[in-house]
Amino acid sequence: MTSYLDAITALGTGSLHPGGFFHTLNVLRQVSLSTEDIVLDIGCGTGRTACHIAKNSGAFVFALDNSEEMLQKAKYRASQEGVQIQFIHGDARETPFQSEVIDVIFIESVLIFLPATTVLQECNRILKKEGILICVEMYASKSMPWKAREQIQATCNIPHIPSFEEWLEVFHNTGFVPASVKRNNFPGFFDNIKNMLYPDPYQIVSRGTRSSQEINSVIQEYMRLIQKNRRYLGFGTFFIKKLKSVLDHK
């Protein structure tokens, strides 16, 4: 059976996270990066965000993902765009970096699939004291019916859809304080049109043992559930910085 993560891996799209690449570009416009900055994209997928950062800022970019298939697609994108990125096949809960070496960490729709507390503790460890963590993550209102919540969680294989307030609590409990946060409505028809203005020229579809019918079925079910329950869903854009270092407690 094809899972949601299997389906998006096979599709090779670089912008399936909430808000799509249009939102990514809006977020990046708020960040000032230079050739002296070290950036880490956690859960980089096919590398679209990482390549854009490297190409437009000149920053030294690391891109980490636990999928070899995704990383192969990301490496192809980087070669086509002519950018240098250090790709890492690894686990976001235990990265290969020394403590306090990263200036900026990007995470787009990744924490919701993982033990967020463990990943954020690792982010706290490797971020410099003046570093910043930028997250884009889905949230659900507390009024969302349990049946709808359970359907989305089962389809996407995620343990829980936090509320906006729960995300803030997780950040606080792992040593972070919000610098800037924003609630965003889940993309509707006109928002999706905006993303059509930014087609992905380097998308590679790879099926392997997965048929196109299986892949499309999973994605369509996801989209159906999201649109049906859109009034209960949103996604947060979180710019957060260290309040305290996890190293202070060792």
> Which tokens in the block code for residue 14?
């670089």
Q: In the beta sheet, which residues pair with residue 36? A: none
pLDDT above 90 for 13: no
Band the pLDDT of 2: cuts 50, 70, 90.
low
Output the pTM of the full model.
0.93
Give the residue extent of every domain in the chain.
8-142+160-212+233-244
Q: What is the pLDDT of residue 171?
A: 97
| Separation CA 118–CA 115 (nearest Å) | 6
Band the pLDDT of 190: cuts 50, 70, 90.
low
Tell me how far apart the 2 most distant CA atoms of the chain are, in Å: 51
Using only C-alpha atoms, the chain has a radius of gyration, in whole angstroms, of: 17
Q: What is the CATH T-level fold of the domain 8-142+160-212+233-244, as seen in this structure?
A: Rossmann fold (3.40.50)
Secondary structure class of 92 (helix, strand, coil): coil
Band the pLDDT of 16: cuts 50, 70, 90.
confident
| Residue type at position 225 | L
Q: For 14-18, 24-28, 191-195, which range has the lowest pLDDT when averaged over its residues?
A: 191-195
Q: What is the pLDDT of residue 191?
A: 66
Nearest Cα neighbor of 41 from 58, 65, 24 is: 65
Mean pLDDT value of segment 90-101? 97
Q: What is the pLDDT of residue 116?
A: 97
| Separation CA 199–CA 238 (nearest Å) | 25
Q: What is the pLDDT of residue 207?
A: 66
Q: What is the pLDDT of residue 102?
A: 98
User: What are the respective helix, strand and coil percentages of the chain, to the nearest 5?
Assistant: 45, 25, 35
- Beta carbons of 14 and 48 less than 8 angstroms apart: yes
CB atoms within 10 A of CB 8: 22
pLDDT tens-digit profile of 109-126? Answer: 999 999 999 999 999 999
pLDDT above 70 for 75: yes
pLDDT above 70 for 189: no
Q: What are the counts of helices (DSSP H) followed by strands (DSSP E) for the chain?
A: 9, 7
Band the pLDDT of 247: cuts 50, 70, 90.
low
